[in-house]
Structure 1
């Protein structure tokens, strides 16, 4: 009796996961900034989730200045006060992240001290979790001070600049 080639059993493709569909769902997840998506097609159910990590707080150390030796009595000298700004003029960071004063390292800054801006004008970026967020002027005026440096970590509510 002649031998016939053994036929392979048919693969059950109904339980295979469509990698392309998973990639599409993962892309949708990152584009919409969601943390989890679940999709059902017939008896197939795919759940894609990602973990989000809050950036670690930046440790700041403050060192007190050593007292000056009391060699001579101190005369009442005028002390230059730290610049005070009307709180309505101060643009504060809406999030924790890293501030960028220019759109790319080789580009010129969005704004400079003395520049006139209108409300809604992009003045800098704050990067948080690999997402660059436009920070816009909260009012129309002139930039009188920039209180942060490019690529500096910032905290929520930290003053970024003064628009008077």
Structure 2
């Protein structure tokens, strides 16, 4: 460490502080402290800390509201002759799009072959059609609800 004549002040060497600052930058240190000739010098710098925040990419939707079950209980629906069951594992949709009205409601009169629901599996929407004409007397799923193979979807009497 050099001591220049202009730095000569009683008991203090500013060149030392400059050299310590250079060492901080070179070694990427946040603080350094030395003692020389009974004088202790500590040099520190604030390290810039980057904090990044990413909002969640998707919002978890609340669970669907339960559907009012008509006179036929869900457990008995599997045995009811008018029960339409899910042909696959997937997600049941009662409407063609989120802003559309449902295909059917309890009390809706349907014709044979009429689209009554969609079941989405592996990004493919499969139409569920009425196998016969009749009146929808029970609904067991809500829009966006997961369904298993053979799960009762609705009853047509």
Using the size of structure 2 for normalisation, the TM-score is 0.50
Provide the rounded CA distance (Å) in 2 between the counterparts of 1:117 and 1:147: 17
Task: Give, in whole Å, the separation in 2 of the partners of 1:106 and 1:155.
Answer: 25
TM-score normalized by structure 1?
Answer: 0.48
Change (3 A) 1:137 1:82: closer
Kindly state the Cα deviation for residue 82 of structure 1 after the two structures are TM-superposed.
4.3
Equivalent residue in structure 1 for 2:118, among 119, 125, 130: 125
Against the structure 1 CA distance between its residues 94 and 82, is the aligned structure 2 distance closer, same or farther, given a 3 Å change threshold? Answer: closer
Are residue 150 (structure 1) and residue 140 (structure 2) matched?
A: no
TM-align CA RMSD:
1.7
For the residues of structure 1 that align with 2:144 and 2:115, how far apart are their CA atoms? Answer: 17
Note closer, same or farther for the CA distance 1:158–1:107 as it changes in structure 2 (3 Å cut).
Answer: same
2:85 counterpart residue number: 92
Structure 1: tracts of 5 or more residues without a match = 1-80
Rg comparison, structure with higher value: 2
Pairs aligned (count): 84
Match of 1:116 among 109, 115, 118: 109
Q: How many Å separate the matches in 2 of 1:139 and 1:153?
A: 25
Distance apart, 1:90 and its partner CA? 0.2
Aligned residue in 1 for 2:50: none
TM-superposition CA deviations, 1:65-98 (whole Å, max 9, x none) = xxxxxxxxxxxxxxxx947455220000000000
Return the alpha-carbon distance in structure 1 between the equivalents of residues 152 and 140 of structure 2: 7
